[in-house]
Structure 1
């Protein structure tokens, strides 16, 4: 009996202590690690700001660079770009300022204006190179130095000083791919595709012919000495200034109650760092609708201007062309007529690298300036049997060789 009472008292004393122990910190290791990284990032940011204010630029660069290793922050990139510009590293400065300009939507307006002004001042002094490698995981070396932007990517851009540059792609098991490009001051060049070719496996010794005895180097006649350099610099083809895409399209409205399907050809010309001109040519046909016996076809152009951020583009569009509608019904007069159409609208484009291709998905809509109602006796019939919306929407899926 006394033994049972002693155990009961011991349990009553231990339970509150165990409960208090369970109520202690319960954060997971990942949560505490994220908190440590955030605190470290804030500490490095403050350290860089203090060093920059005191004029210790090398210390500020080191602190800001360590902070970017923890988290890619547009404000830190902008400050690092301003320091690089002050130190004369123009290409590195433009690279950081451009990324800060694109991603720094939450940067305070005064600091953002400073970043934009510095970028506009430095951009005419360098050239942008658009680089694409055939295989993901390759390292790209520019003039013998590893380009960090190539790590984990096979489609990227860099800013370099004007002049001739050697672009070399390396990947284990493949031959190096080399291109030489002349960078123009203030320009933008597309480096020809860096194609990595597999290294052929060595042939077996059994099938190899017997080798001739080696001759001393002095005994080799001068005429047999190879004069070809191991890495000849053949002239590169001129960079392509426009990108053609071809694919299928679906257009809805104005033609008939059913969507029209057809082909689309699209081209794009760069006009700046983020701005480009776009032109689509589309032809589509809609099958005959059973309820209205109406079918249609169109051919038209969609010119526009687009702004691009990474893989997404937003465009302002115009549209114009001709559409054809026809109807054959048992109890109504048949008709077949062509009409002009025109309108204005907007659209969005997503571009995704897919092996040797670039896949582009475009969605757009334009408001037509005219309506196209359909009456029983034609367009001027007494009773309207179908009236289309004045919004013409389109969905296109296209591809281009990278």
Structure 2
């Protein structure tokens, strides 16, 4: 009799609720499936796409004989990135050969790491379904293009995703490892691209809100944020060289990356344009499900930490900060500099959707099915439509 009573609540659950609970019980299922599909698409594109000018510059600098030569080239403003990015690329090509896939392997890994960290960040606070949505959103935006481009943007995104996850864990019990991870990941991101300095802003804002929530300042976190900025001292000569070059070029009205309001709006639009159709389909599916079977009653939704919501919102607004700084300093402004805004969009979208999951499991599963379906379709299209290009090692321009 008692067993029947215990089974009764489970028996009354809908199929959608049981599937949702299955996802919660098997938390590694989605990351595993996502990894397979993502790697198939990204690796195919990386192996087949021809290198463009900036990637050729990456290849040349990474193949210089000694690390001192890389530093000397960057000191002459041969390229606008710190040396760690070229060192990582050098390791990749030395281990896996000079093919275009090996050259772009770190970027593939970076965007993959970002999606997994977003999954972990959101799933720990909301649900596995919400975490899955957060992981899928970057792969459905322009961020995916930078997963197979031999430039530092994919690497920086991955390191930032790791920093976010470590910052979240640092506010809980797992302190030592999380604090170390926060410091190392942010420092490494800064050593790959100078614009990673803007990534301190959302984390610092989130930490300020968290301090107000808890009524006290978490000194170790602030020490880690300060320590992560340490590489600036070593990179000052390179930063001075690239700043001087950028200032001269940026004052020319013909400079293609001049920060204008048109460029800002256009960058936002291009960044999220691939997500428009999936978003419309998601809204249509949600509306249809609500019309077919309206929700009854009220379900208490656990409030999300205000500090993490603040991080997401600041990330979405970060392009305006980057734009303002670029205007003042005569620096360049382009879409790839505002890629972290997608992280904020993914977090906000997942957190908002989580409030629907609490009331309707079928809505959550429908959203996941739509986004994952588009992800698979886009991946299949890229795999089928790409044509093999000349391998990197056979490109005489690069060999000579």
Would you say same fold, with TM above 0.5? no
Greater strand fraction, Structure 1 or Structure 2: 1
TM-score range, shorter chain: under 0.3
Flag the structure with larger Rg.
1
Greater helix fraction, Structure 1 or Structure 2: 2
Query: RCO greater where, 1 or 2, for CA within 8 Å and sep 6 or more?
Result: 2
* TM-score where L is the length of structure 2: 0.21
* TM-score where L is the length of structure 1: 0.21
